[in-house]
Chain A
Amino acid sequence: AQSVAQPEDQVNVAEGNPLTVKCTYSVSGNPYLFWYVQYPNRGLQFLLKYITGDNLVKGSYGFEAEFNKSQTSFHLKKPSALVSDSALYFCAVRDILTGGGNKLTFGTGTQLKVEL
């Protein structure tokens, strides 16, 4: 079975500082990995994905994530945080081997708070 862990319920960072939101995963085969962002009372917005290729993936709004197979991690990063980045971030995985029936498994979410 596939699973995702986001160990931090909340991350606080000052505007202008780099931010990292952690994600680790567990799958039987090779993973498809995704990051989504959710603003209050809104659906999820796609940020970036890793399917294959370069381990460093660049996405929307200046976000990037690094796929680390040995550590089974896919941490989300941004060099300089903005107050407007404050939102709920979800990591998700789909297991290629099992197919997962196209199912995404989501982590529990990390609330990012960027302060002036």
Chain B
Amino acid sequence: GAVVSQHPSRVICKSGTSVKIECRSLDFQATTMFWYRQFPKQSLMLMATSNEGSKATYEQGVEKDKFLINHASLTLSTLTVTSAHPEDSSFYICSARTSSGGSYEQYFGPGTRLTVT
């Protein structure tokens, strides 16, 4: 149980275009979803936290107009990288957490490798 999927697994886009990444909880309802960014050989940096039906909370230094997050349902959150630039190239990982059952761990998706050319 507790499977989180991401789509696409990898994407290449041209500079200036927008890219949407989907994160789905397949067998549970995710009241909270998180988006992380990971640079090569580095740790995960939290970008934003989203609760279903409300606006995402962004970490300091993360541009909310550039990284649009939508959490419209209990099983789906999307991250849209708008007007992408080469410096946005990274590995983006989502995670999901349910508020039920006293479970405290986050379940992570497999990640999306974004390359902006």
Verify that A and B bind, or say they do not: yes
Of B11-19, B69-77, B82-90, B105-113, the one contacting chain A is B105-113
Q: When chains A and B are docked, how far (Å) is the Cα of A43 from the Cα of B44?
A: 10
Q: Which of B34, B42, B108 contacts A36 (CB 8 A)?
A: B108
Across the interface, which residues of B come within 8 angstroms of A46, CB to CB? 105-108
**Extra A-B contacts (6), CB below 8 Å, given A42-B111, A44-B95, A101-B57:** A41-B113, A43-B93, A43-B109, A44-B93, A46-B105, A103-B49
Q: List 24 A-B contacts (CB under 8 A).
A: A32-B104, A41-B111, A41-B113, A42-B110, A43-B6, A43-B93, A43-B111, A44-B44, A44-B93, A46-B105, A46-B106, A46-B107, A46-B108, A51-B104, A90-B43, A94-B104, A101-B57, A102-B97, A103-B46, A104-B106, A106-B44, A107-B43, A109-B41, A109-B42
CB distance from B4 to the nearest CB of A (A): 8
Which A residues have a C-beta under 8 Å from some C-beta of B?
32, 34, 36, 41-46, 49, 51, 90, 94, 101-104, 106-109
- A105's nearest neighbour on chain B, judged by CB, is B46
- Total of A-B residue pairs, C-beta within 8 Å: 50
Once the chains bind, are B105 and A49 in contact (CB under 8 Å)? Answer: yes
Once the chains bind, are B44 and A90 in contact (CB under 8 Å)? Answer: yes
Once the chains bind, are B108 and A108 in contact (CB under 8 Å)? Answer: no
Q: When chains A and B are docked, how far (Å) is the Cα of A45 from the Cα of B107?
A: 8
- B106's nearest neighbour on chain A, judged by CB, is A104
Q: When chains A and B are docked, how far (Å) is the Cα of A90 from the Cα of B45?
A: 12
- B4's nearest neighbour on chain A, judged by CB, is A43
Most buried by A among B43, B110, B111: B43
